[in-house]
Amino acid sequence: MTVTDLTAVVTGAASRRGIGRATAQALAAAGWTVAVLDLDEAGAKDTADEIADRHGVQAFGLACDVTDEGSVAAAVDTLAADAPAVGALVNNAGITSPTRFLDVDGGEWDRIFAVNVRGAYNITRRLVPGMAERGFGRVVFLSSVSAERGGGVFGGVAYSAAKAAQLGFARALAREVGPLGVTVNSVAPGLIDTDITGDALQGERKEALIAGIPVGRNGRVADVADLITYLCRVESGYITGATYDVNGGSHIH
Ligand code: NAD
């Protein structure tokens, strides 16, 4: 089994400065064929073109709303017809919100869970059966330090709850599919420099957060992408059900 015969699917990898795009690049550099699935079709195709250019591997950029089962099914069907078998899934698509609990309403709560939790379910449910059948698979969830320490970075209670739900999802799935050759792990990044917070995290507030990080800086997307790529290696098969912190020491436990 070698990753050059397999496709790695990365959701939410259109965003130019995002963790997903950097992860798709790192996986391609390791030899994977890459499929980028995102709400933003033009961005997904742009990521795929950039990957094919830089790494000389096949890359697919597909429109996909992970919250919509039909949209996920259509993207997975396209890959089944055109791409090598899927060997890895990175559940990266996510949204955040800083709304305080005393202000959050049910609609916002549901939106946060729809993308981070139900979205991850929709695509994982579609892809893991094939991995199990072939006896090889790697699934990685993008959780967050917010799940572990109870917010305190940017996201509010809804985000922390959704990211903690991902940890339980990953751990229980790891137990179920381990015997079938599929590993399931989570990464829990701290503050990473991307556009997920829009312009809402700036100036003094950002400086105060960085002051609480022992290594003295916020994280870079490559810090997370490299770890995910390591977890997806064929040789990483004894690592499952684990959560990896990538937070510069901002939460040590
Ligand atoms: P980002 O906003 O840069 O990228 C998120 C991507 O997800 C975008 O391309 C967006 O179009 C896509 N997306 C959103 N909803 C979608 C949907 N319904 N279907 C498909 N795609 C969808 O975010 P990022 O900072 O790169 O974060 C990536 C992941 O890492 C998220 O799950 C986030 O919660 C997690 N994370 C980020 C940080 C951080 O500090 N940036 C920290 C911890 C965890």
pLDDT digits (tens, 9 = 90+) for 185-199: 999 999 999 998 887
What is the C-alpha to C-alpha distance for residues 78 and 62, in angstroms, rounded to an integer?
Answer: 9
Regarding the beta carbon of 66 and ligand 1, being less than 6 Å apart is answered yes
Regarding the beta carbon of 89 and ligand 1, being less than 6 Å apart is answered no
Domain assignments of the chain as residue spans, ordered by start: 3-245
Please give the CATH number for the structural domain made up of 3-245. 3.40.50.720
Regarding the beta carbon of 97 and ligand 1, being less than 6 Å apart is answered no
Confidence class for position 1, pLDDT limits 50, 70, 90: confident
Q: Give the residue-averaged pLDDT of 88-106.
A: 98
Mean pLDDT taken over the chain = 96
What is the tens place of the pLDDT at every residue in 10-40?
999 999 999 999 999 999 999 999 999 999 9
From start to end of 49-93, where are the E strands?
59-63, 86-91
Q: Quickly list DSSP for 208-220.
A: HHHHT-TTSS-B-
Regarding the beta carbon of 151 and ligand 1, being less than 6 Å apart is answered no
244 is catalytic: no
Please give the number of the atom of ligand 1 that sits closest to the Cα of 19.
26
- Residue entry with tokens 């829990």: 188
Taking the centre of ligand 1 as the mean of its atom positions, its distance from the CA of residue 94, in whole angstroms, is 4
In the predicted model, is pLDDT for residue 68 greater than 90?
yes
What is the tens place of the pLDDT at every residue in 163-173?
999 999 999 99
Residue 176's H or E segment, with its range, is: helix 157-177
Confidence class for position 206, pLDDT limits 50, 70, 90: confident
Q: b vs e for 27-36, b when ≥16 Cβ sit within 10 Å of the residue's Cβ?
A: bbbbebbbbb
